[in-house]
Structure 1
Amino acid sequence: MSETLDKLLTKVENAVSDLPTLPYVVERVLEISSDPDSSMRDLESVVASDPALSARILRAANSGLYAIPQHITSITQV
């Protein structure tokens, strides 16, 4: 990827991750987390519906803290 494209993607990621997560999304994530019958797909679909939450999760997953060898680009990879 070119340096210019990398810079643009970083700007977009920063702008999106600065947005607040919608309250109903937080509520739904909590419901799914506490429901033993829910699946990861349920959680993925809710998280993927919120760009800000998705961006924050992807940023955390790609941080040096986890030392993942490949770049994570989708919530389904996390």
Structure 2
Amino acid sequence: MQKVLSISVAAYNVEKFIEQCLDSFIDPAILDRVEVLVTDDGSKDRTPEIVSTYEKKISRNIPFDLTKKCRTRFHCK
């Protein structure tokens, strides 16, 4: 099914909240119609690891894109 909505989440040191945020997009009613883009700006906490876990777990249904600045070990855009 074609994606009808792109959701952009800006993240920086939000390990306490990012799971709740990402969980809110995992709804079977919308699962096939949305994409979630998470942009992390060099968090020093566990935010990148948490998002990466979601990316692996849900990537078949929701394409999580963990984007970081080029100074980090993740894919740069």
TM-score by length of 2: 0.29
Greater share of residues in helix: 1
**Which structure ranks higher in relative contact order (CA pairs < 8 Å, sequence separation ≥ 6)?**
2
Greater share of residues in strand: 2
Q: Which is greater in Rg?
A: 1
